[in-house]
Amino acid sequence: MQYSLGIDAGGTFTDGVIIRDSDGVILDATKVLTTYPDPIGGIKKVIDNLNPDYVNDIKLVSVSTTLSTNTILEDTGFPVGVILVGDYVIPKEGFPAPYYVRLSGGHTSNGEEAAPLDEDGVKQFALEVKDHVAAFSVSSFFSNRNSEHELRVKHIIRELTGLPVVCGHELSQEVGAYDRAITAYLNAQLLPITHKFIQSIMQDIKSRGIDANLLMLKCDGSVVGMEEALERPIESIFSGPAASLVGAAFLTKYDTCVMVDVGGTSTDVALIRNGVPELSDQGAIVGGWKTMVKAIRMETSATGGDSHVWVEEQRFHIGPRRVIPLCRAAVEYNGFLERLKGSKSPSRKLLCENVQPTKFFVRTGLRPLELTRTEDEIYDVIQGIPVSYVDIFQQLKKQPSVRALDSLIQKRLVQSIGFTPTDALHVIGDFRKWETEASLIGAERLAKQLRVSKEEVAVMVKQKVAKNMASDLVSYLVDGIPQSVVDQMLAGDNYTRFKVETPVVLLGGPVIAYKEEMEKLIDANIVVPEHASVGNAVGSLVGKGIKRVEILIKRDFAPITGVNVTDEELKNAKEVISYFVFTPEGRSIFQEYMEAFDFARNTGKKIIMDYMKAAGYSKDEVEIEVTKKDLMVREGEEPVESKIIVVGIGTSKLVVEKDVIPDYMRKKAISSRSAEGSYSGK
């Protein structure tokens, strides 16, 4: 008997499931705390907690994670050096990175060099910032048509610094240099985190003697082999929400449903319709950032079970930062409950996100590399025992810098502890897993600030989380209505109750606690399936086996010139010079259309097969289809542009109910194909 292991490492919990390959039955599941900042401890514990009789016969391991998404939401990514190549127009507020430079270079829409690359500028910038950053990113004008300058910058930086470099063309083949620059910057922040995550999994699997294919789920629901994921970790971002979506469909057997996944740090909303996940042409939107990474269409907000609940000016806020819940800290740190009981509250005038009567700080164990004098003073006070802002104040004998404290948190040197929605559920009694007394003390502290009872505080937090979930759901389903308007419609006693025809599947740990509140706000079939708490891990196994490649063929024209040529003649009298083919691997030029088409088709097939091979599929296990969309000027002429779409479907290595996986995989692929027709060439 053979089994498959699915693992999802989230910001708060790491989940694991074992599924029997022969019939798709879930045989074992477990949920443990994610170890911070190094997730390997949680991953090891997941495997340790699963039945060893099954573990020994595992032949496939597939992994998803929300760690990268949470990093963006919390703004705790590693510092990045950004290089913008070309005639960029930077917004007035500047590029959102402390280290960036704009240099000459870039290409035209046909892939011709627009200006020579300023290699000296690249070298100077790299040497100036190499000791201040963990990675670099580069985005060049029309690198989706010619990646030569980006690749040259990558080579130079690696030679000078040895640091990883993310190129814009590696993430998207769509036009939009600035959006590619933003995406490359965001994802370069994630490189050290993802590298450590993947390497830890590979080491642990090998140490156990498990002989299995290792896969990483991507943000579009497809998979990649671990070795390739290690080289291009950017492709693994947002894989957690993608796993949740396909996991929700698998667990409920719904062809059409909308998923609301409440994790420790965030709430994710996505839709699968007729077995097909909705994909975003522009990529996922996370924490207000619009990315160009191909992904399921989803909305993510910074509200989760471990979101920080804090007060200021007699109002409470939830998030966006994640903290360790008070109830859990009381179990994890010896003496914390007594310290919480005896701690003094800061002055109301000082209250802000990091100065709270319920907030404490503790070291993570990471080694500090570069601290300012103010940061170093505070870091010396914070040790392995949680301390409050007042504790730091008393030891320093002066008011600590809130900015320096926040910087230590962003650098992942310090972890915060505070009141959370998880604590609120402990107070109400909807969820009891850790030390309830700590949650009660925290609720009472906040209640004094808000001038209500501790029970009222807990109910208010629970209702606010449910309203945020409902607002995220409606905003996702209804186009054109800003979320601020939806929030207003759901606010107050006379709120609007929205009706949703699509079944709503709730996933997450204690998500059942929010079902009743959600039903008050949303008129829908709201379902919490069995194994909802480990839906991501299930999805990491069932959402695999698809790869899609797009290649553009563009016909190049040159107007006929001469004496006494009219504007109409110049407009209509053109001759074909060549056909440009733009692939993820570069630009090629052909004199005949069919030569260009054959090259595009064969290149697409090669990329598909290389990808599938890395994911553990043999040639016989992959079905490939090629379709194209043409942009025509006149009937009967060769296309002005053609978009070649190559889709590969890997035969599922997990045999489950026929109406669940094979149809789902096939429908998803078909949805990615397009019948011949016109499209915008912009």
| pLDDT number for residue 664 | 35
How do 526-527 and 504-508 pair as beta strands?
parallel
| pLDDT number for residue 110 | 81
The tokens of 33 are what? 């705390």
pLDDT greater than 90 at residue 600: yes
Q: Choose among 217, 270, 298: nearest CA to 542.
A: 217
Residue 210, domain CATH: 3.30.420.40
Does residue 504 lie within any of the structural domains? Answer: no
Does residue 323 lie within any of the structural domains? Answer: no
* % of the chain residues with pLDDT over 90: 36
**97-111, 292-306, 438-452, 549-563: the lowest-pLDDT one:** 549-563
Cα–Cα distance measured from residue 285 to residue 296, given in angstroms and rounded to the nearest whole number: 10
pLDDT greater than 50 at residue 679: no
Domain range for 599: 546-672
Q: For the chain, what is the domain count? A: 3
| pLDDT number for residue 381 | 92
159 shares a domain with 222 = no
**HSE-up of residue 638 (Cα within 13 Å, Cβ side):** 16
90 shares a domain with 164 = yes
Give the single-character DSSP code of 427: H
Give the single-character DSSP code of 679: -
Look at residue 651 and give its three-state secondary structure. coil
109 shares a domain with 14 = no
Final residue belonging to a domain, choices 210, 234, 263: 263
Does residue 606 lie within any of the structural domains? Answer: yes
Give the single-character DSSP code of 344: P
Final residue belonging to a domain, choices 263, 282, 307: 263
Does residue 498 lie within any of the structural domains? Answer: no
155 shares a domain with 93 = yes
The tokens of 231 are what? 């080289």
Cα–Cα distance measured from residue 60 to residue 58, given in angstroms and rounded to the nearest whole number: 6
pLDDT greater than 70 at residue 107: yes
Q: Which residue(s) pair with 15 in the sheet?
A: 8, 31
pLDDT greater than 50 at residue 668: no
Does residue 346 lie within any of the structural domains? Answer: no
Four-residue CA torsion sign, 276, 278, 281, 287: negative
47 shares a domain with 22 = yes
Calculate the CA dihedral of residues 670, 671, 673, 674 and round it to 10 degrees: 120
Does residue 389 lie within any of the structural domains? Answer: no
169 shares a domain with 35 = no
The tokens of 134 are what? 């963990």
Final residue belonging to a domain, choices 201, 234, 263: 263
How do 257-262 and 267-273 pair as beta strands?
antiparallel
Cα–Cα distance measured from residue 139 to residue 155, given in angstroms and rounded to the nearest whole number: 14
555 shares a domain with 659 = yes
| pLDDT number for residue 151 | 92
pLDDT in tens, 544-560: 566 778 899 988 765 54
Does residue 557 lie within any of the structural domains? Answer: yes
Residue with tokens 């449903």: 257
The tokens of 562 are what? 């001469």
Residue with tokens 């929205």: 498
- Considering the chain, what is the average pLDDT of its residues? 83
More confident residue, 654 or 521: 521
86 shares a domain with 174 = yes
Does residue 416 lie within any of the structural domains? Answer: no
180: left (phi over 0), alpha (psi -120 to 50) or beta: alpha
56 shares a domain with 89 = no
Q: What is the DSSP string of 200-225?
A: HHHHHHHHTT---EEEEE-TTS-EEE
